[in-house]
Amino acid sequence: MREIVLDTETTGFEPSEGHRIVEIGAVELFNHVPTGRTYHQYINPERAMPQEAFQVHGLGDDFLRDKPKFAQIAQDFLDFIADDAKLVIHNAAFDMKFLNAELGWVKKPLIANERAIDTLLIARRKFPGSPASLDALCRRFNIDNSSRTLHGALLDSEILAEVYLELIGGRQPGFGLSIEPTKSAAQSHSAGDWRSQPRPVPLPARITAAEAEAHAAFVAKLGENAIWNRQKS
């Protein structure tokens, strides 16, 4: 199963008001295991970057001026998310409306909303009443996000991939018994590599002293001919 963990950065909140995407970052998962394939692109929004957006993203007009326009990268992006892979997005409605607005403006196929897996909704269902921002989930799952001083699409998608795996049950939700995306991952998840280990603390006995005495008396009645007393031939 192929999934794409995705994030966008934009000049504002509403494409209907002329705001545009300035960055896309994405990480590929196969059967919930990162494959190492990523997609990252800065985009010239063809408009001035508002000061408040610059403060969030750290991307200014001078930096974005020579970057490709969305029309120039649209097909490469669609090729990366092809094969109807699910798109794992935090607050999916926001990113999906921007992606589909941009795709519509350049006459490219839109992305079906059914493809989106919204980690914000998953977190709110799993931890009702608790903060569900990406930073809050990193704190909950002890995921290092110390390098996230500014919002960046690729960094955020890499962090979100870790958060997503924790939200769906841990880093190996399927126990990895049938996952072979890469040689190293297949080796690390192989059932043949697993060995049971002694318990650090033995389990307590579940029989009472009276039951133990009754069992010993029963065994004594069997005499020396009991099968466990016979010598091996």
Identify residue 224 by its one-letter amino acid code. E
Lookup result for tokens 């929004």: 45
What would the pLDDT profile of 165-211 be if each residue is shown by its tens digit? 999 986 655 444 444 444 444 444 444 444 556 656 666 666 788 87
CB proximity list for 158: less than 8 A, separation 6 or greater: 5, 25, 27, 38
User: What's residue 198's pLDDT?
Assistant: 61
CA dihedral 118, 122, 123, 124 (to 10 degrees): 100
What would the pLDDT profile of 100-142 be if each residue is shown by its tens digit? 999 999 999 999 999 999 999 999 999 999 999 999 999 999 9
CATH topology of domain 2-193: Nucleotidyltransferase; domain 5 (3.30.420)
- For residue 31, pLDDT over 90 is answered with yes
Show the CA angle centred on residue 215, arms to residues 212 and 216, nearest 5°. Answer: 85
**Across all residues in the chain, what is the average pLDDT?**
84
- Quick one: what percent of the chain has pLDDT higher than 90? 61
Please state the domain extents for the chain.
Answer: 2-193
Judge if pTM exceeds 0.75: no
Whether the Cβ atoms of residue 98 and residue 8 lie closer than 8 Å to each other: yes
Catalytic positions are 151
